[in-house]
């Protein structure tokens, strides 16, 4: 692989006698990974997969697969049973260590690898805000959140500084998976070499510094801030964290006991022991690309601004129409759903009770998008279907994974089905795929048009 001479020179200085092992790794094949989604599947799901999987050490739900396999072309992928993710990137979600009920913000989230990992640990409880400054990247982020069947996510496209103004001290956990020079991903995506030559580490340092300052404002006292990059140089990693610790002495690095076995960060003068708590993954030492992660605990008492919670409002007509729909399919909503429904123009959502007020912010989606209320009728959304389990619904059509009708459904075709008229949740085995409406034994395909297979 043709690497920039300046990059090679800097890596030689950084790695010294380990440099030749490092550079030889660029002639080795890269590794491929997928992470099973606990919101949709049970632990034994991997036994159902048609190809071999091998555990990734630093992520309980992570598996390597062989590069000849095509898991992205499988119906289980469309059912959100797993997310395809570079193996090293899974270390970050493990570091965040989300718990049900947490309030979490992922500031640089697109296309959603870490958000979907974190949300799976939250089991639909608490709130996760998933933000990315780029509106075009947020579109794909939202799709990945919906496919994964997540109900408790607010998707925004904002400068983190605006979020910090709106929600100071609100979050238990903040993740900054920072935009970076991407040195760790050259083997996975050689196009990044050209971007590195155009925008190197020095271009990213001020952006990272500014996002970290917002992260500090968003985090509550006693909360944790996780910072990660997919680059090797120390400016964007250890030096960035050392500078942050100097600016905000109320933080300490915390040990990441749940991430083993990986490498540790480089020492920093006067802070050596602390930096043993930061973690690195190297392509010549671990089976994955380059990554860095640091987790910091905020110890002091500072901002105490009360944050208003979101107050959902829905018209009686829209709510009645929704209730009529769920009765027709035999779905009994979990506690709290009917009490926290919200209508925005024709769109109907469930908003988790922990959700903060979002007025004045660029919000792409809030909570669980259930469907639309138009012309006195409720029409269910793809996101509603994705976050349901078949055993929660009476009206369902279960197709075997090998049934040709699965492919036909995913292509948007009409199927012949011998059931009564009405709406049905269409499933592959025990995983929901989307909606269909049966009229005279024909299933009108309601899978989201942009998700269809070509
Ligand atoms: C490393 S990628 C994030 C990957 C993502 N966390 C995942 O796991 O799929 C960095 C992201 O930061 C976004 N970004 C760049 N500048 C930003 C800023 N100032 N604030 C927030 N996000 C930013 C980019 O659009 C990009 O999507």
pLDDT of residue 203: 98
CB of 262 closer than 8 Å to CB of 291: no
Q: Is 158 in the pocket of ligand 1 (CB under 6 A)?
A: no
Is residue 112 annotated as involved in ligand binding?
yes
**371: CB partners within 8 A, 6+ apart:** 322, 325, 347, 348, 378, 379, 380, 381, 384
> Residue 302's pLDDT band (boundaries 50, 70, 90)?
low
- Cβ–ligand 1 contact at 112 (below 6 Å): yes
Question: Are the C-beta atoms of residues 23 and 5 closer than 8 Å to each other?
Answer: no
- pLDDT the model gives residue 304: 67
Q: What is the pLDDT of residues 150-190, one digit of tens each?
A: 999 999 999 999 999 999 999 999 999 999 999 999 999 99
Question: Is 202 within any annotated ligand binding site?
Answer: no
Which residues 6+ apart lie within 8 Å of 334 measured at CB? Answer: none
Mutate to test the pocket of ligand 1, among 108, 162, 292 (most ligand atoms within 8 A of CB): 108
Domain covering 5-298 assigned CATH 3.40.50.970 in the classification? no
* Residue 300: pLDDT over 80: no
The reply to whether ligand 1 has any atom less than 6 angstroms from the CB of 138 is no
Which of the listed residues 132, 145, 229, 362 should we mutate to test ligand 1's pocket, taking the one with most ligand atoms within 8 A of CB? 132
CB of 139 closer than 6 angstroms to any ligand 1 atom: no
Contact between 132 and 362 (Cβ < 8 Å)? no
For residue 179, how far is its CA from the centre of ligand 1 (angstroms)?
5
- Name the strands in the sheet holding 54-55, side by side, starting at the edge strand that comes first in the sequence: 54-55, 62-65, 32-36, 82-84
Q: For residues 247-284, b (16+ Cβ closer than 10 Å) or e, as one string?
A: ebeebebbebeebeebeebbebeeeeebbebbbbbbbb
Distance from the alpha carbon of residue 133 to the mean position of ligand 1, in angstroms: 7
**pLDDT for residue 273:** 81
Structure confidence at residue 257 (pLDDT): 85
Question: What's the gap in Å between 165 CA and the centre of ligand 1?
Answer: 19
**Tokens standing for 24?**
């030889």
| 114 C-beta closer than 6 A to ligand 1 | yes
Q: How confident is the model at residue 301 (pLDDT cuts 50, 70, 90)?
A: low
Does the annotation count 230 as an active-site position? Answer: yes
Among 85, 86, 109, say which to mutate for ligand 1: greatest number of ligand atoms within 8 Å of CB: 109
Domain 389-453, architecture per CATH: Roll (2.30)
pLDDT of residue 342: 98
Q: Is 166 in the pocket of ligand 1 (CB under 6 A)?
A: no
Q: Where are the domains of the chain?
A: 5-298, 311-350+357-361+369-387, 389-453
Measured in angstroms, how far is the CA atom of residue 106 from the centroid of ligand 1? 9
- How far apart are alpha carbons 45 and 14 in whole angstroms? 42
CB distance 266 to 132 below 8 Å = no
Q: Is the CB of 207 under 6 A from ligand 1?
A: yes
Q: Which atom of ligand 1 is nearest to 177's Cα?
A: 6
Q: Does this complex have an ipTM over 0.95?
A: yes
CA-closest residue to ligand 1 atom 15: 179
Q: pLDDT for 102-139, tens place per residue?
A: 999 999 999 999 999 999 999 999 999 999 999 999 99
Element (H, E) at 197: helix 191-198
Q: How confident is the model at residue 261, as a pLDDT?
A: 80
SS3 content of the chain, % helix, strand, coil (to 5): 35, 25, 40
Q: Is 110 annotated as a binding residue?
A: yes
> Rounded CA gap, 431 and 194, in Å?
41
């Amino acid at each position: 692989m043709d690497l920039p001479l300046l990059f090679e020179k800097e890596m030689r200085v950084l790695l010294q006698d380990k440099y030749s092992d490092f550079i030889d790794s660029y002639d080795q094949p890269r590794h491929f990974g997928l992470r099973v989604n606990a919101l949709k599947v049970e632990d034994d799901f991997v036994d159902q997969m048609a190809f071999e999987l091998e555990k990734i050490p630093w992520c309980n739900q992570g598996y390597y697969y062989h590069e000849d396999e095509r898991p992205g072309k499988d119906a289980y992928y469309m059912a959100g049973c797993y997310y395809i993710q570079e193996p090293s990137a899974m270390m970050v979600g493990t570091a965040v260590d989300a718990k049900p009920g947490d309030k979490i913000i992922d500031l640089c989230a697109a296309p959603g690898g870490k958000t979907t990992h974190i949300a799976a640990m939250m089991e639909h409880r608490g709130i996760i805000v998933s933000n990315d400054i780029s509106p075009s990247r947020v579109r794909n982020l939202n799709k990945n959140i919906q496919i994964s069947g997540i109900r408790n996510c607010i998707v925004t496209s904002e400068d983190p500084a605006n979020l910090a103004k709106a929600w100071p001290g609100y979050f238990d956990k903040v993740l900054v998976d920072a935009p970076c020079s991407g040195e760790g991903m050259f083997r996975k995506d050689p196009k990044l070499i050209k971007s590195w030559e155009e925008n190197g580490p020095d271009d990213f340092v001020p952006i990272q510094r500014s996002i970290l300052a917002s992260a500090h404002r968003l985090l509550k006292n006693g909360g944790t801030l996780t910072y990660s990059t997919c680059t090797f140089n120390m400016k964007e990693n250890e030096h960035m964290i050392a500078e942050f610790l100097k600016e905000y002495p109320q933080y300490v690095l915390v040990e990441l006991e749940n991430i083993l076995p990986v490498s540790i960060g480089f020492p920093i003068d006067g802070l050596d022991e602390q930096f043993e708590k930061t973690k690195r993954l190297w392509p010549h030492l671990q089976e994955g690309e380059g990554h860095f992660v640091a987790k910091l605990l905020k110890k002091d008492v500072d901002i105490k601004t009360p944050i208003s919670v979101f107050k959902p409002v829905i018209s009686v007509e829209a709510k009645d129409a929704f209730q009529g729909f769920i009765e027709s399919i035999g779905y009994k909503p979990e506690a709290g759903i009917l009490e926290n429904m919200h209508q925005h123009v024709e769109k109907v959502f469930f908003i988790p009770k922990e959700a903060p007020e979002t007025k004045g912010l660029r919000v792409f989606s809030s909570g669980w998008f259930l469907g639309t209320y138009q012309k006195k009728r409720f029409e269910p959304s793809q996101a509603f279907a994705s976050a349901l389990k078949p055993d929660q619904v009476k009206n369902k059509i279960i197709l075997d994974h090998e049934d040709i009708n699965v492919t036909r459904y995913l292509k948007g075709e009409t199927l012949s089905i011998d059931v009564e008229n009405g709406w049905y949740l269409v499933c592959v085995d025990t995983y929901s795929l989307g909606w269909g409406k049966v009229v005279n034994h024909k299933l009108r395909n309601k899978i989201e048009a942009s998700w269809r297979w070509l």
